[in-house]
Homo-oligomer: A and B are copies of this chain.
Amino acid sequence: MPTTNWTRHHILTLADFTPAEYNIVLQTAASFQEVLSRRTKKVPTLQGQVVANLFFEPSTRTRSSFELAAKRLSADTLNFASATSSMTKGETILDTAKTYLAMGTDIMVIRHREAGVPNAIAEEMDRLGAKVSVLNAGDGQHEHPSQALLDLFTICTLLDPDYPHLELLKGKKIAIVGDILHSRVARSNIWSFTASGAELHLAAPPTLLPKLFADYGKNRPGKLFLHWELEPALRDADFVMTLRLQKERMTAHLLPSLREYHQLFGIARSKLQLCKPNVKVLHPGPVNRGVEISSDLMDDPEFSLIQNQVTSGVAVRMALLYLLGSGKT
C-alpha cells in the first residue's frame, strides 16, 4: 500500500473531500485492484478488527460489497439488518450504534433511509471519545460516498489503469441523467466530479432537477450545468451516468409515464451518437431495464461500464476500510 497522509476519521460526505484525498483513495484502490488479480486475494491488513455493517435499510449489492471488502482485508464482520433487530423493541439508533461500539467495533458501515443518520452517529461517537470510524453507505437522499468514489475510480482507471488520479478528468464532459432530485448517488457524484477539472452536465425533467442544484457548482474547480432536456447533456459527452428511476415517482405525479420517460431521458444506443465516439455509460444499479437505459446497451461491453463499477466497488471499499482502519490497531 502507498504511504499515505490520510487523516480523515469518518467518511460521511464528499462535500469537503480534497483533491489529495481523492487521489489517495484512487491509488489505494488501485493497489487493492492488483491484490484482487492475484492468486491469493486476501491480505491480513485488518486482522482482528471488526467491521459492523449496520443496514437500517435493505441492500444487496452495497452490503455484500462491503462485507467482501472487509473479509478480503481479514477483518471480522458483523451484519445487522433492522428487520430482525431490537429496533422493533424501540431502541434508538444511537443506542444501537453505542452497543456495537461497546462490543468492540472498529468501523461502522451505516445505511439508513433518513439523511443525516451516519453524521449523527459519528458525532455521538466523537463526543464519547470513541476511536470507531463511521462510513456512510447511503443516507436518505443525502450522500453515498463510496458509490461516487467507485464511479470515479472506474472512470479514472479506464483513462489510466496504472495511475488513476483526479487530474485525468480535466477537460472531460460527464453527463448525469435521471432522477437527480431523489438520488444520494448523484449528490455524491456532483461533489466528486466538480472536484476535478471536468465539465459536469445534469439532465432531467424539471420535476426531478430543481434549479437550486446549480448551487452545488459554486466555488468548485469543475463547471456544473443543468439541462431540462437530454440532448445538450449528451452532446460530445465522454461519460454518461444514468440513474435508477423509482417507479414511485410516477404515483407522486412527478412523471407522466415510464414509456415517455424512456423516450425523453432513457439512454439508448441511438442517442449516444450525440456523444464522443468512445463514450462510456455508467449506472449505480440496480437497473430498471428499458426505463432509464435500454437493455441491449446495458449489456454491451463496448459502451457499458456497469460491471466494472461493481468490481471497482470491492477495491474502493477495501481502500476506504484500509484508510480508516489501518491507524487503529
Q: Which residues of A contact B (CB under 8 A)?
A: 36, 39-42, 47-50, 52, 58-61, 64-65, 67-68, 71-72, 76, 78, 80-81, 83-92, 95-96, 98-104, 244, 247, 285-289, 307-311, 313-314, 329
Contacts and interface: CB of A to CB of B under 8 A. Distances in A.
Given A41-B49, A60-B85, A95-B287, 14 more contacts: A40-B329, A42-B48, A48-B72, A52-B64, A61-B99, A64-B100, A67-B78, A68-B104, A86-B285, A98-B307, A102-B307, A102-B309, A103-B313, A103-B314
A285 B40 contact: no
Contact of A103 (B68, B86, B96, B247): B68
6 contacts: A42-B48, A58-B88, A60-B96, A67-B78, A68-B76, A103-B310
Contact of A36 (B68, B92, B99, B104): B104
Q: How many copies of this chain sit in the oligomeric assembly?
A: 3
Contacts of A85: 58-60
Nearest to A94: B299
A42 B47 contact: yes
A68 B50 contact: yes
Nearest to A76: B71
Contacts of A329: 39-40
B83 A84 contact: yes
Contacts of A98: 307, 310
A60 B85 CA distance: 5
A18 to B, nearest CB: 29
Report, nearest first, the 5 A-B pairs whose CB atoms are least far apart: A102-B310, A91-B286, A60-B85, A60-B86, A41-B48
Given A95-B286, A102-B311, A287-B95, A59 B42 contact: no
Contacts of A101: 307
Nearest to A96: B60
Nearest to A80: B60
Contacts of A86: 59-61, 285-286
Contacts of A83: 84
A92 B287 CA distance: 9
A94 B21 CA distance: 36
Contacts of A288: 90
Contacts of A310: 98-99, 102-103
A85 B285 CA distance: 13
Nearest to A83: B84
Given A39-B48, A42-B48, A65 B103 contact: yes
Contacts of A308: 102
A160 to B, nearest CB: 21
A45 B325 CA distance: 25
Contacts of A59: 85-86
A58 B76 contact: no
A304 to B, nearest CB: 11
